[in-house]
């Protein structure tokens, strides 16, 4: 079978499209004929060697964290998935999906309802992260308004739609007018380019000086402390990535200084669901319902053939993707 592999960690140039042996499912594994393959930040982490959960070894490591397709074979310990089922897969090892076929443990696969197709769930990770951010992690606030900086990616565009479906007020920003136009088209009520607009000014104006209840922050870095300036009383900042690295501040001291406002910082990783499969599957079912009834429509930036995996990763590194980038075998 064909796959995109790396023999050394590094940039997109390390990806090689080549022939590799077709995997055989063992134990509780399933073999999936991939129909659609997602490309996202976890794939960058694996390719660059920065994924702390990476188990597979070089050389010949197949990149790829997520895919959707048809089950072709199952291991002897698989209990609830059958040959012929269509499934979405989040590979717990963070790799293996940039291929025509991939194996995954049953616990990391989700059966897609027959009313949908694999092509309709191009970013199952984005869907589940967005749902968890809104419904599991974002609790404890008034939950009436939120702000997402850098919202044009797969998670951000999904989170906007889910929040609007919940009747929330949404502020979102991006780094270009092209990206901002997409955010407006999704229905976000306050949209601005964070490169030339002060988020504090824009958000306080949007909320009549109150600030937002939730700030979803994938940036962190030195700007984290400033986000308290436009967080409402009893508000919460949720960190779900560290794109600018360590914020270099004493977070407890920062929270204490804001104690009269009862504000908080919370950190989230989707690996929190690794050992609570029933809850993760229940969340996924809710995501499928939202796609089926039209409340959420995944934004697909571009579909490339698997043979152009290197180009896909170049787009990923260049931060040019709006919504979800996918590949087909």
Nearest-angstrom CA–CA distance, 98 and 253 = 44
- Give pLDDT tens digits for 82-99: 999 999 998 766 789 999
pTM of the model: 0.83
Average pLDDT estimate for 14-30: 96
Residue 287 confidence (pLDDT) above 70: yes
Question: Please, which pLDDT band fits residue 251 given cuts at 50, 70 and 90?
Answer: low
Instruction: Considering only residues 229 and 51, tell me which one the structure prediction assigns the higher pLDDT.
Output: 229
Q: Is 84 left (phi over 0), alpha (psi -120 to 50) or beta?
A: left
Cα-Cα-Cα-Cα dihedral sign, residues 269, 274, 280, 284: positive
Position 254 scores a pLDDT of 65
Cα 23 to chain centroid distance, Å, stands at 26
Residue labelled with tokens 């998670």: 155
Residue 249 confidence (pLDDT) above 60: no
The number of residues in the chain equals 329
Position 33 scores a pLDDT of 97
Residue 267 confidence (pLDDT) above 90: no
Question: What is the distance in angstroms between the CA of the first residue and the CA of the last residue of the chain?
Answer: 10
Position 252 scores a pLDDT of 58
Position 269 scores a pLDDT of 79
Query: Taking the CB of residue 271, how many other CB atoms lie within 10 A of it?
Result: 11
Find the helix or strand (DSSP H, E) in which 162 lies. helix 154-165
Average pLDDT estimate for 122-136: 85
Question: Please, which pLDDT band fits residue 245 given cuts at 50, 70 and 90?
Answer: low
Question: Residue 299 gets which letter from DSSP?
Answer: P
Encoded tokens for 115: 């009313």
- Give pLDDT tens digits for 168-195: 999 999 999 999 999 999 999 999 999 9
Position 97 scores a pLDDT of 95
Position 141 scores a pLDDT of 66
- Give pLDDT tens digits for 301-313: 999 999 999 999 9
Q: What is the mean pLDDT of the chain?
A: 89
The torsion defined by the Cα of 257, 260, 262 and 268, in degrees rounded to 10, comes to -10
Question: Please, which pLDDT band fits residue 247 given cuts at 50, 70 and 90?
Answer: low
Nearest-angstrom CA–CA distance, 161 and 309 = 28
Nearest-angstrom CA–CA distance, 98 and 113 = 23
Residue 38, beta-bridge partner list: 66, 326
Q: Percent of the chain beyond pLDDT 90?
A: 64
Residue 296 confidence (pLDDT) above 70: yes
Q: How many CA atoms lie within 13 A of 11 on its CB side?
A: 6
């Amino acid at each position: 079978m064909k796959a995109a592999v790396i023999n050394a960690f590094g940039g997109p140039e390390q990806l090689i499209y080549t022939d590799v042996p077709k995997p055989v499912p063992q134990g509780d594994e399933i073999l999936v004929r991939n129909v659609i393959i997602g490309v996202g930040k976890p794939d960058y982490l694996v390719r660059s060697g920065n994924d702390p959960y990476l188990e597979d070894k070089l050389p010949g490591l197949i990149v790829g964290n997520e895919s959707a397709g048809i089950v072709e074979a199952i291991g002897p310990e698989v209990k609830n998935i059958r040959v012929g089922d269509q499934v979405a897969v989040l590979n717990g090892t963070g790799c293996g999906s940039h291929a025509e076929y991939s194996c995954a443990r049953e616990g990391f696969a989700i059966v897609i309802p027959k009313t949908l197709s694999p092509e309709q769930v191009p970013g199952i990770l984005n869907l589940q992260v967005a749902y968890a951010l809104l419904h599991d992690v974002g609790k404890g606030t008034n939950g009436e308004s939120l702000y997402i900086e850098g919202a044009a990616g797969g998670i951000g565009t999904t989170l906007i739609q889910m929040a609007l479906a919940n009747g929330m007020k949404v502020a979102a920003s991006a780094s270009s007018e092209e990206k901002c136009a997409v955010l407006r088209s999704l229905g976000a009520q306050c949209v601005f380019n964070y490169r030339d607009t002060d988020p504090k000014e824009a958000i306080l104006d949007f909320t009549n000086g109150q600030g937002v209840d939730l700030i979803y922050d994938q940036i962190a870095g030195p700007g984290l402390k400033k986000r308290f300036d436009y967080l409402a009383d009893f508000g919460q900042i949720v960190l779900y990535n560290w794109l600018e690295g360590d914020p270099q501040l004493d977070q407890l001291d920062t929270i204490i200084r804001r104690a009269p406002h009862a504000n908080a910082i919370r950190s989230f990783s989707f690996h929190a669901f690794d050992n609570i499969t029933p809850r993760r599957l229940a969340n996924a079912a809710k995501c499928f319902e939202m796609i089926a009834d039209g409340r959420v429509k995944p934004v697909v930036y571009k579909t490339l053939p698997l043979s152009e995996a290197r180009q896909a990763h170049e787009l990923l590194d260049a931060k040019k993707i709006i919504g979800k980038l996918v590949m087909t075998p």
